[in-house]
Structure 1
Amino acid sequence: MLETDQINGEDGLSSTSIKVLEMREAVFEAWEKEVRALIKNAQEILPPVLINTLPVFYDNIAEAMTPDHPRARATSNTDIAAAHGNERARMTSYSAEQIIHEYQLFRDVFFRIAEERGIPLSGEERAVVIRSIDSAVRESVQKFTSMHDTFRHRVAASLSHDMRNPLSVVVSAAQLLTMAPHSEKAPIFARKILDNGRRLGAMIEELLEALSFNKGQKLPLVLTRFDIMELARKVCDEANDTENAGCTVEGESVIGYWCENSMRRALENLVTNAVKYGDGGGIDVKIEEAHERMMLSVHNSGTAIPMEHRGRIFEYLRREGGNQDGWGIGLPFVQSVAESHGGSIALDSSPATGTTFLIDVPVDCRPFVGADHEPVPGAGDANRPG
């Protein structure tokens, strides 16, 4: 189990929560079958993208079902549901209605498996599940819609900026031709109109392609096969040497296809931020694999990130005031790395549990990073790349 607030193992969880965790794989197996059968655009989605951030969401539900746990519902103190909506916008051709449908199927499968296994759920435990799913639906759809709005705004900005110059040349040349149609310079004006008209046509083609592709900007990646655990240990060792960070790594070895340089820079940024904003209590890096996805989290204790700032810390050069320097470009870069690998980054922060950033990406990201890396036959059918 990988909880985003780094509560380890099953310590402190109720017996019902533990039983719920034990049925997780059965829930996801049944859910995936129903989603592929009932949601039109889900049939061709590879397993790591379909499962997405839901394993973490599921574990959070189990935690929230334990009385007096700091997590009142699965979306408490975390933006994991928003990360799900973000990925659905970037990685699929889903509609908002289909996101709602898959959460409804998740709810129905969860209660059905619990009943089949004879797990009694109290009224309050059932209410926790329902409140968690309802909240996740709102946050996922809101982020999904926001991503599409942001994309349209970027397209509009590109239209107004990039097309301004060729359009101006076309208008000016046409005006000159109107005033002096028989001028010796008429062929020059006509050539300018033709050349810049072609430029505008090419720009429109690119914009239409971008609109139909419907994904955010990605970093250029050089993919190699390596063990993310070894990379995490190197980054932690360097942080301990230079910052006396108290950085430790735990979890499991996960071998996959990622861009080592980008992942290293992303992890270095997260560890540096954990040192900068933590209380000196050490930094915990945890690695786990589930459903062909690699989850890497960096946790520090200390002051929680205020709720009003959480939606903005991934903006470039955002400054939040106070004595600290602000987040700068580090976290936006980390977000770009995660998204360019076909994954997401999520934030979990509260006074009770500290702050955790979670990178959640496919183990084999080759099918998800664009035309430069051809999809691997059967890549979605194996837990480890060969």
Structure 2
Amino acid sequence: MSENLTGHLSPDDPGLSPITRAMLAVRSEVLQAWMDQVRNTVPQARELPRPILENTLPAYFDTLAALLTPGYTARVVNDLGAVASEHGGERARLTEYDATAVIHELQIFRDTLFSELARHDVVLEAGEQAILSAHIDTTIRESASAFTVVQAALREQFVASMAHDLRTPLSTAQMAAEMINHTSNDPSVRRFAEKIVASTQRIDGMTRELLDRIAFCKTGAVRLAIERVDMAALVREVAQSAEVAHPIELRIEQETIEGWWCRDAIRRALENLLNNAFKYGAAEEAVRLTVSTSSGRVQVMVHNQGDPIAPEDSESIFQLYRRAGSRGPGGGGGWGVGLPYVRRVAEAHGGSVLMSSSQEDGTVFVIDIPLDARPFNGAPTAA
């Protein structure tokens, strides 16, 4: 069922209910109608490239449809929350949206979903429509909340950067005032120079305190060297090197998947995900590595069986120096920088990382990024 996080659930899957399969059959029509409507009614969306506008909506649509298959509901509710949060986070980092625009576009999605299903004769029972409506309402709240949190983090980073940059002209002004104080014979000039020195020292102290408060444990932006890369070949190389340590089941949608990314950063991110899967996954089970594409984006999925990540740890594992406390024998080791790095790499490419974990389905991480990351090189990261 992890295919829902890449937007690749199949309408021909016999394990899905008829209504879920019927929804999946009109996925493209629903998403296209939604994008058309959003471009027409949300000003901030009019000039967005399709991969950024579409964002994680294919994964969200598939996860929403899976709610209507008995037995899957409990497994995908957490997935919906993860996708909703990533959607809001991407909007904060990569667009000129405000919280109102995030809410508006998801309200449009709800209306478009039901109208397009009706237009294609996909009939929902009252209970099914109520389920979808309730979860879309939850998505709107969670996306808006994530948008607000990420915007606050970006403002914090901006203030930290500005505070850091202020120190150079402050230092120059202070040294100039000290020179005037030491060389002038005019008491009035020296008195004014002393006031300038005192004021610049005070501002410098305030700046230092600000940096100490908001830049503690922060790292710089991920530096990307964007070049043309064959993702399929890169993933094969990584898998070939890693399978010495653990069995890997490799699935690649196409022989060649070319795009514009930073080869070294993507390689390291994939190695981190695989090492994480080896470390915490079931020793006897192969790790599944899958590459797929959709609408100008590529999805790289790493899946392992084993003890799930506790819901309360689903965000902390992406924070620097934090690790899920309940995973694996002894709780694991290391510095806790692997998954934060993965998120930073994905976000710096204009994308996201989706995560799903359950006892039944195991743990899945999906790097979802545009095929051409050049326009987003140096995009701000919240991690």
Q: TM (normalized to structure 2)?
A: 0.81
Q: Work out whether residues 343 and 360 of structure 1, in 8 Å CA contact, stay in contact via their aligned partners in 2.
A: yes
Stretch deviating more after TM superposition (9-18 or 98-107): 9-18
Pairwise CA distance, 1:260: 1.2
Q: Work out whether residues 355 and 365 of structure 2, in 8 Å CA contact, stay in contact via their aligned partners in 1.
A: yes
2:363 match: secondary structure:
strand
CA gap of 1:5–1:108, structure 2 versus 1, over 3 A, is: closer
Q: Distance in 1 between matches of 2:51 and 2:257?
A: 15
* Aligned with 1:284 (options 259, 276, 288): 288
* Aligned with 1:36 (options 26, 39, 49): 39
1:293 aligns with 2:294: no
2:316 match: secondary structure:
coil
- Identity of paired residues, percent? 36
CA gap of 1:173–1:364, structure 2 versus 1, over 3 A, is: closer
1:342 match: secondary structure:
coil
Q: Work out whether residues 86 and 144 of structure 1, in 8 Å CA contact, stay in contact via their aligned partners in 2.
A: yes
* Aligned with 2:131 (options 128, 131, 134): 128
Counterpart residue number, 1:4: 5
1:262-308 deviations in whole A, cap 9, x for unaligned? 11111111111000010121111111111111111111111111111
Counterpart residue number, 2:258: 255
Q: Distance in 2 between matches of 1:160 and 1:47?
A: 36
Paired AA for residue 345 in structure 1: V
* Aligned with 1:309 (options 300, 304, 313): 313
Q: Distance in 2 between matches of 1:279 and 1:308?
A: 21
CA gap of 1:223–1:174, structure 2 versus 1, over 3 A, is: closer
Pairwise CA distance, 1:170: 4.6
Structure with the larger helix share: 2
Q: Distance in 2 between matches of 1:302 and 1:288?
A: 24
Q: Distance in 1 between matches of 2:295 and 2:346?
A: 17
CA gap of 1:171–1:368, structure 2 versus 1, over 3 A, is: closer
Stretch deviating more after TM superposition (79-88 or 216-225): 216-225
* Aligned with 2:370 (options 362, 370, 377): 362
1:45 aligns with 2:48: yes
- Count matched residues: 352
1:87 aligns with 2:90: yes
Q: Distance in 1 between matches of 2:341 and 2:238?
A: 17
Q: How does 1:210-249 map to 2 (within 5 A)?
A: 218-241=221-244, 243-249=245-251
Counterpart residue number, 1:14: 17
Counterpart residue number, 1:153: 156
1:271 aligns with 2:274: yes
1:336 match: secondary structure:
helix
Q: Work out whether residues 5 and 356 of structure 1, in 8 Å CA contact, stay in contact via their aligned partners in 2.
A: no
Q: Work out whether residues 346 and 367 of structure 2, in 8 Å CA contact, stay in contact via their aligned partners in 1.
A: yes
Q: Distance in 1 between matches of 2:60 and 2:31?
A: 12
Pairwise CA distance, 1:109: 0.9
Stretch deviating more after TM superposition (350-359 or 324-333): 324-333
Q: Work out whether residues 5 and 60 of structure 2, in 8 Å CA contact, stay in contact via their aligned partners in 1.
A: no
CA gap of 1:58–1:18, structure 2 versus 1, over 3 A, is: same
Q: Work out whether residues 6 and 299 of structure 2, in 8 Å CA contact, stay in contact via their aligned partners in 1.
A: no
Q: Distance in 2 between matches of 1:127 and 1:285?
A: 36
Q: Distance in 1 between matches of 2:139 and 2:22?
A: 22
CA RMSD of aligned residues (A): 3.5
* Aligned with 2:142 (options 139, 144, 160): 139
Counterpart residue number, 2:216: none
1:353 aligns with 2:357: no
CA gap of 1:155–1:115, structure 2 versus 1, over 3 A, is: same
CA gap of 1:16–1:77, structure 2 versus 1, over 3 A, is: closer
Q: Distance in 1 between matches of 2:9 and 2:56?
A: 19
1:294 match: secondary structure:
strand
Pairwise CA distance, 1:167: 4.2
Q: Work out whether residues 5 and 299 of structure 1, in 8 Å CA contact, stay in contact via their aligned partners in 2.
A: no
1:67 aligns with 2:75: no
CA gap of 1:236–1:96, structure 2 versus 1, over 3 A, is: same
Q: Work out whether residues 239 and 247 of structure 1, in 8 Å CA contact, stay in contact via their aligned partners in 2.
A: no
Q: Distance in 2 between matches of 1:29 and 1:6?
A: 14
